[in-house]
Amino acid sequence: MSDALHLLAGAAVPLPFWAWLRRGAGSRLSPWALLDLAPVAALFLVLLAATARPIMAGGFAAGLCLFLAIADRAKRATLGEPLTFTDGGLLWQVAAHPRFYLPFVPMTVIVGGIGSGAIAFALVLALEPPIVIGAGGRLALATASAGLVALLLRPLVLLRGVEPARDPSQDTARFGPMATFALHARIAAVERPGRRAAHPPRPAIASRAAELPHLLLLQLESFCDPRRLGVPAALTQWDALAAGAVAHGPLAVPGFGANTMRTEFAVLTGLADGVLGLDRLNPYFRFARAPVSSIAWALRGAGYTTTCLHPFDERFFGRDRVLPALGFQRFEAGSAFADAPRNSGLVTDAAVAARLTDELAAASGPALLYAITVAGHGPWPGPDPAASWAARMAATDAMVGTLAAGARQSSRPVVLAAFGDHRPALPAARGGTDTDYLVWRSDRLGKGGKRPLDPASLHRLVVGTVLGSS
């Protein structure tokens, strides 16, 4: 085979995989397909410059398309939404914590894909001869690749009056998946400084007429009332607190089955999706890595200490950087729970309750204690995953009861606010995104009113209950 034909063959290798990726995204054929192809071309060119093996370079570019296509299909099937530009920040988590991601991709696909890729690489490495590319040719290929990357970093120059929908599903259909990644990333980067500056940290002004209560803010993994989904469960503690709560009811969260950080951010900051632009897809990816308004900053200004407890990897979702930016003075994560009891490898809710009880007893002044639980996370093993999940919700219910009992014994009033981050990624939970919440005070019996809220409204309710303005 001549070098020219060899080169054309290598360039053609990724094309069917790229077309398959676009087909899964419903992408229409248009001139924007060239922008969508640019990342594939850039990878092919730089690998060709490095290896002088067109088939190998094309194979790696095909592998990128194949990986994205499988991930996109899995996310659409499980969560009902496509891959987005912010998902790139989660890639390391797939390798570090595969149990949270790989169960949603069939094992035959994972093993078959890795095995086939390894065999193909070995064969190409052994059998493909390099083509003749001089130093000037390699430089030209690398320069062309760099030019495409520069375009992908500044793709808005191509729009000229064309306005993206700023919706991942619509824009991937119009521009293609990889073009949409580039467009959305750039739009978010341009808008982010102004959007962030509009919501600086502000201290709360608290009334001194009454003693400031502690706040126990509980973010409950995969929590919603199983009975609403037709799954038998006994939530005796939740029901008892709800009857005397300031308010309780369904919480309309911005996602199904995952994307905890969306609900988390909105509850902590009170900022709704509309003020975030495309950063709403994952506020922790970039937006929340600099100080913005939050419940922690507000309560710190009123004299509170602010602590977050999360019995898992502190780097997950970048919380090690985000939580200090959101005003938390102390963040106790996985290493602080090294000896805690576990169930299915995850720190139990009972262990979190014990730690919170100790923190509450040790507090010398008003304290915000924010806990992010993890024990309810899937996968949920056994012949009936829904029943397995419901059993974990019963354990969460017991944790809430333990904390309420401790709150009643506290010398300082306690506001307990608990909410589910998202529904579990189970067939029984499909058909909605709402979870459940309640806000309860240890020193003041509420009317137990049922009130539907969204996370930003829950933020306002919690702050008002703590500072006496609700």
Three-class SS of 204-235: CCCCCCCCCCEEEEEEECCCCCHHHHCCCCCC
Q: What whole-number distance in Å separates Cα of residue 406 and Cα of residue 404? A: 5
Report residue 379 as tokens: 């996968």
Which residue's structure tokens are 């009123």?
302
363 alpha-carbon distance from chain centroid: 31
Burial of 122 (0-12, 13-18, 19+ CB in 10 A): exposed
Q: What whole-number distance in Å separates Cα of residue 352 and Cα of residue 375? A: 10
pLDDT tier, 1 (very low <50, low <70, confident <90, very high otherwise): low
Which residue's structure tokens are 């939404």?
81
DSSP category for residue 365: S
Q: What whole-number distance in Å separates Cα of residue 403 and Cα of residue 238? A: 11
Strands 414-420, 214-220: pairing is parallel
Quote the mean pLDDT of the chain. 93
Ordered structural domains, the chain, with CATH: 3-195 (no CATH), 214-467 (3.40.720.10)
Which of the residue ranges 117-126, 284-293, 301-310, 406-415 would you say has the lowest mean pLDDT? 117-126
> Can the peptide bond before residue 324 be classed as cis, meaning omega within 30 degrees of 0?
no
Q: What whole-number distance in Å separates Cα of residue 158 and Cα of residue 221? A: 42
pLDDT tier, 415 (very low <50, low <70, confident <90, very high otherwise): very high
Which of the residue ranges 92-96, 178-182, 285-289, 424-428 would you say has the lowest mean pLDDT? 92-96
Give the per-residue pLDDT at 109. Answer: 67
Quick: pLDDT tens for 9-38. Answer: 889 999 999 999 999 999 999 999 999 999
Q: Could you give phi then psi for residue 413, rounded to 5 degrees?
A: -55, 155
Q: What whole-number distance in Å separates Cα of residue 109 and Cα of residue 112? A: 5
Between 115 and 45, the more confident residue is 45
Look at residue 416 and tell me whether its pLDDT is greater than 70. Answer: yes
Quick: pLDDT tens for 198-227. Answer: 999 998 876 665 789 999 999 999 999 999
Average pLDDT over residues 272-285: 96
How large is the angle between the packed helices 3-12 and 33-51, nearest 10 degrees? 130
366-397 burial, b if ≥16 CB within 10 A, otherwise e?
Answer: bbbbbbbbbbbbbbbeeeebbebbbbbbbbbb
pLDDT tier, 103 (very low <50, low <70, confident <90, very high otherwise): confident
Q: What whole-number distance in Å separates Cα of residue 442 and Cα of residue 243? A: 13
Model pTM?
0.94
Look at residue 300 and tell me whether its pLDDT is greater than 90. Answer: yes
For residue 307, give the amino acid letter.
T
Helix (H, G, I), strand (E, B), or coil: what is residue 415?
Answer: strand
Burial of 23 (0-12, 13-18, 19+ CB in 10 A): exposed
Q: Could you give phi then psi for residue 414, rounded to 5 degrees?
A: -130, 130
91 alpha-carbon distance from chain centroid: 11
How close are the terminal C-alpha atoms of the chain, in Å?
78
* Contact assessment for residue 270 and residue 198, using Cβ atoms and an 8 Å cutoff: no
Report residue 456 as tokens: 């930003």
Which residue's structure tokens are 């905890």?
260
Helix ranges restricted to H, 285-384: 295-301, 319-325, 349-362
Helix (H, G, I), strand (E, B), or coil: what is residue 66?
Answer: helix
Give the per-residue pLDDT at 3. Answer: 82
Which residues, 6 or more positions from 39, have their beta carbon under 8 angstroms from its beta carbon? Answer: 64, 148, 152, 178, 182
Q: What whole-number distance in Å separates Cα of residue 419 and Cα of residue 224? A: 8
